[in-house]
Structure 1
Amino acid sequence: MKETKVNKLGVFLLFTLMFLAPFIENTRGIFIPIFKEDFSVSNTAISSMITGVSLAGMAVTFIGGALIEKLGQKKTVLLGILCLILGMVLQALSNSYFMFFVGFIPIIAGLNIYSVASNTMVPLIFVGSSTLAMNLFHFMYGAGSTVSQNAIGVLLDYGITWRSIYLFIAALYVIVLLAFKFTRFPDKQRVPVKEGEVSVFKNPKLYVFGAALGFYVFAEQGMSLWLPNYLKEAFGLRESIGARYLGAFFLLFAVGRLLGGFIVQKTGVMRTVIFTEIAALLLLFIGVFFGNSYLFVISISGLFFSIVFPSTMSLVSKIFKERPGMATGFIMTMVAFILNSMNLLMGILMDEIGPRLAIFLLPLSMGISLCLMVFIRIKTKNNETALQ
């Protein structure tokens, strides 16, 4: 993989940030039962909070491409880190549900800013092997998820509070923030819009990409957000047990990210994405349909979940060549909108029909994503360069 105007420390910190992201993003599910007890709120209140503050994050994601063009790659990432630190500290020190709610806003904004910036930076840094690089880059997310799920499960068993855990994670981000002073990153130059050029927003494939990834991301993140709550309320399993199931899921998820890029380069992006979505959907459905004795099957599905997002995102700069930054920002906004809407629906269903039935929203969402991926494959089958 060829590096372009970036030092080794910059690459290391970029990958480190991806490793740290799930420590705050993918551990909320473990903490949901604790948040409910600490602040005396319902599932619907939690999902409403997630949906409400994420609307602000969606606005940030939508302008993410413009932020990169205005501030440059490095300053955009720094802004995201600052938002994350602020939000974690606010939540850790909150003494009311309102303050906890407020602290969630900069966390979501920071995660979304970094997501847009990082998904446009990797193709700039690693020219000619973006699919492999994206899978290895997102492998760090899977590795971070595995470590965070298991570590937090152990810390909770030892009586460490969620507030102390949040402050420690914030301290790690402070260290990364200080180290960024010594990094160099390539800056994507603004692409002028030519007179008469068709806007990227008039391309229907942009919306199909956003919807396909949105429903997929809900199924993936729904595992970390809702599975521990489902295991506790449906089967009476402790949060630490739920963390272990998730730990196994994300361990295999990380293995898939590590090896997936090499497989995708040989078999083609969309062909591999469709196959792995089918496998993940079948395993997820079997796990939730048969219940307690088959919960381990859900963990196995992590191996197949892993390839979908980074491989599909690697196509954005190839299919939307004119404005890849703006396309990425818009797609991530659609992902956030669908994710938040589905999370709200999941919280309502958990309260109204119970966790045993509500959990089927995850495989349903995966099925919708699969159908849209097949549609993308059909519409882009003549573009073999993009599909590889």
Structure 2
Amino acid sequence: MRKRLGGNNRVYIMQLATIFLGFIIFGFSENIKGPAIPRIQFDFNLDEQQLGTMLSLNALGYLIACSFTAYLVRKWGIKAVTLMAFGSMVLSGILIFMSRTYPLFASSYFVMYIGNGMLEIGLAILGARIFVRNTGTMMNLSHFFYGLSSTVAPMIATGLMSVTLFGQLLDWRWMYLIMLSLSVLPMIPAFLSSFPGDDLAEADRIPLKTLVRDPALWLLVLILTFGVVSELAVGGWLVNFLEKAYRWDTVAASGMLSAFFLCFSAARLFLGPVTDRIGFNLSLILLSAFSALCTFAAILGGEPAAFLFAAAGIGIAPIYPTVMAFIARRYPKGSDTAITFTVTLMGVGSVIGNYAIGGITSGIKRSYGSGSELGLLRGLQAGYGFIGLCALICAVSGCVLYRYLKARQELI
């Protein structure tokens, strides 16, 4: 009996290592591009349109991978698919290193985003299957590692591209090769471990047709989509807002963004037990409403209230992992399909949401006069206000979900 328990503990440790290391790699792969893109653009002589096209195609590759990963999990098992996801990341690093022409580089980058999409779905499915107790705590803790690696990834990437080895400066190709080769590390515990859920008979799984008839799933899609738009948009728009609206220098504005990520990471580290204690549904409402209030107060309060932009990270950080925990609890025999469905639609919504922020900013700016200081300020405020509005819609959707589930005595 003692040996068997010891064996179970070792398996669980391997499972945790796969998930935690996987989220670290995921954060690296998504966030090392910031310092590299200007160098890539220079080396291949790309204009903004070519660069934008490449990034759009990569987003498409990500969505394609999200759409077929659950099918591969059912066909080959989560272990094989997880190893494939990490392996494709290693392969993309090698291909990026070897690329000397733009078409080869763009294709290699596309492979990396295919791996990213497979990895996001694979890690979410692993978490849903493994974290059957303290689900909210463990999901938030897992995503904390993503936030941690996302925070340090740009600094590590910049540092690697300034290293001289054998008299030669390492360029962005070497940086991608080194960083993506780290995907080998989580492959080791994944290979040595076993994962539950693959033995579930097809007849016992909840089919997609049944899932999409559940209004709760569509409300979770809304919560996840608007929550993620509000989360990701901060990284792209906060520094721009502070520099142009308040004339902050780059160092100060970047410092506020770092403070946001610090609040964001701390929330995922410490608020997981709170979501388990008060319930996932109520947590989604309170946390997203807090983020919306902080964002609106930061805009209306002007420069003295700018610290509230960072505080908004406390509320928005737990939304994604808490929705994943919600899905794992509500659809224990259909979590693979439910996660794929929600994350794929979330990806489409995120693309639209980021375009909307840019469109709102430009539209309001033009209405006041494109060249005026007031027009610039109002445009930036309106665009950033949309980020707060997304968090508010997230909270309202959570209230609708709460009423729907409470009426059926299905609150989680």
TM-score, normalised by the number of residues in structure 1? 0.83
**Partner of 1:200 in structure 2?**
211
Q: Which amino acid aligns with 2:232?
A: Q
Whether 1:184 aligns to 2:184 is no
Note the residue ranges of structure 1 that are not aligned, 5 or more in a row: none
Farther off after superposition, 318-327 or 242-251: 242-251
- Find 1:264's aligned residue among 270, 275, 283: 275
**Partner of 1:107 in structure 2?**
112
Q: Which amino acid aligns with 1:183?
A: S
**Partner of 1:374 in structure 2?**
399
**Structure 1 residues 131, 168: CA separation in 2 closer, same or farther (over 3 Å shift)?**
same
- Aligned-residue offset at 1:99: 4.4
Whether 1:299 aligns to 2:310 is yes
Classify the secondary structure of the residue corresponding to 2:400. helix
- Aligned-residue offset at 1:232: 5.9
- Find 2:184's aligned residue among 162, 174, 182: 174
Give the Cα separation in 1 of the matches to 2:252 and 2:32: 14
- Find 1:310's aligned residue among 283, 301, 321: 321
> Do the aligned partners of 2:211 and 2:338 also contact (CA within 8 Å) in 1?
yes
Give the Cα separation in 1 of the matches to 2:249 and 2:99: 28
**Partner of 1:87 in structure 2?**
92
Classify the secondary structure of the residue corresponding to 1:81. helix
**Partner of 1:165 in structure 2?**
175
**Partner of 1:222 in structure 2?**
233
Q: Percent identity?
A: 21
Structure index of larger Rg = 2
**Structure 1 residues 273, 19: CA separation in 2 closer, same or farther (over 3 Å shift)?**
same
Farther off after superposition, 356-365 or 88-97: 88-97
**Structure 1 residues 265, 308: CA separation in 2 closer, same or farther (over 3 Å shift)?**
same
- Aligned-residue offset at 1:231: 5.2
- Aligned-residue offset at 1:316: 0.9
- How much is the aligned-residue C-alpha RMSD, in angstroms? 3.6
- Find 2:295's aligned residue among 284, 299, 305: 284
**Partner of 1:41 in structure 2?**
47
Q: Which amino acid aligns with 2:47?
A: V
Q: Deviations over 1:319-346 (max 9, x none)?
A: 2344221111111111111112223444
Whether 1:21 aligns to 2:26 is yes
TM-score, normalised by the number of residues in structure 2? 0.79
With a CA cutoff of 8 Å and minimum separation of 6, indicate the structure with the bigger relative contact order. 1
**Partner of 2:368 in structure 1?**
none
Q: Deviations over 1:218-268 (max 9, x none)?
A: 211222344445556664744x66554333222221211111121112212
Give the Cα separation in 2 of the matches to 1:241 and 1:164: 30
**Structure 1 residues 380, 276: CA separation in 2 closer, same or farther (over 3 Å shift)?**
same
**Partner of 2:331 in structure 1?**
320
**Structure 1 residues 23, 228: CA separation in 2 closer, same or farther (over 3 Å shift)?**
farther
> Do the aligned partners of 1:131 and 1:314 also contact (CA within 8 Å) in 2?
yes
> Do the aligned partners of 1:149 and 1:243 also contact (CA within 8 Å) in 2?
no
Give the Cα separation in 1 of the matches to 2:102 and 2:262: 33
Q: Which amino acid aligns with 2:395?
A: L
Whether 1:54 aligns to 2:65 is no
Q: Deviations over 1:267-326 (max 9, x none)?
A: 121112211111111222344556655443322222222221111211113323442211
Q: Deviations over 1:93-132 (max 9, x none)?
A: 5556554443332222212212212222223223232222
Whether 1:342 aligns to 2:353 is yes
- Aligned-residue offset at 1:188: 2.9
- Aligned-residue offset at 1:83: 2.3
Farther off after superposition, 14-23 or 97-106: 97-106
Whether 1:73 aligns to 2:102 is no
Whether 1:116 aligns to 2:116 is no
